[in-house]
Amino acid sequence: MELEAAIRTRRSAHRLIEPAPSDEEFIDLLGWAATAPDHGHLRPWRWILVRGDSRAALGEAFASGATDTEAVRREGRKPLRAPLLATLVLVPQRNHRVPDWEQLAASSAMVNSLMLLLHGRGFGSMWRTGSAVDSADTRSLLGLAPHERLIGWLYIGSPDPTRRTVPRSPVPVDHRVSLFTAPPDPAPPEHPRAEMIRSCP
């Protein structure tokens, strides 16, 4: 699939079914996604793949902060919406030239590239975050270090063929683009001696 076609046709898939990419295929695609712009080539991230019954354990961690029965049920079922949950962890690197916000931006660029690559292989995906990214139970379950930041989950699988895909149009962005024109250089001040010479009889 050509890049423009991938961008035009990619959609966030709300329901995903088997198959999902294998661990080996995910790593292969990630290797190419990691070529996205990354100042300093720091690769300030790591992925944790969650599959099978482990999704239920993740759901329990999601539900740990819920305050009512319905919320517990809803949060606990979220990880079951896709056969593979790829968990993105930001691992900030100490670098005086690359601040944390730029490392997060590089990680985001990598995720976007990965979603396009998955789409090109026929897989579907959807980016999800929510309150679980700050959950102590979720962080503990996944073994995050204190300095690491849980960014979210890429839900991955195959698009449900029974779901209708709504055609998408380009976003109107003309009002968000402006052209900067440098102001003209101010006229250089005349040399005092030149002014004095002109004033002489």
Q: How many structural domains comprise the chain? A: 1
Report the C-alpha gap between 7 and 154 in whole angstroms. 17
Q: Rounded CA gap, 81 and 84, in Å?
A: 9
pLDDT tens digits along 9-26 = 999 998 899 999 999 999
Looking up tokens 């606990």, which residue turns up? 76
| Residues paired with residue 88 on neighbouring β-strands, in sequence order | 47, 152
Residue 128: CATH number of its domain: 3.40.109.10
**Within-domain flag for 39:** yes
Q: Domain range for residue 129?
A: 3-161
Domain membership of residue 27 (yes or no) is: yes
Partnered with residue 85 across adjacent β-strands are 50, 155
Q: Give the confidence band of 192 by pLDDT, cuts at 50, 70, 90.
A: low
Asked, for residue 181, whether it belongs to a domain, the answer is no
Backbone dihedral region for residue 122 (phi beyond 0: left; psi -120 to 50: alpha; all else: beta): left
* Mean pLDDT over the full length of the chain: 92
Q: Please state which of the ranges 91-100, 124-133, 179-188 shows the lowest mean pLDDT.
A: 179-188
pLDDT tens sequence across 111-132: 999 999 999 999 999 999 999 9
Residue 1 has what pLDDT? 78
> For 64-88, what is the mean pLDDT?
93
In a domain, 198, yes or no: no
- Spatial distance between the Cα atoms of 34 and 109, rounded to a whole number of angstroms: 9
Query: Is residue 54 a part of any domain in this protein?
Result: yes
Domain annotation covers residue 173: no
The DSSP secondary structure of 104-169, one letter per residue, reads HHHHHHHHHHHHHHHHHTT-EEEEE-SGGGG-HHHHHHHT--TT-EEEEEEEEEEE-TTSPPPP--
Lowest mean pLDDT among 34-43, 106-115, 184-193: 184-193
DSSP assignment, residue 12? B
Q: Is residue 140 part of a domain?
A: yes
In a domain, 91, yes or no: yes
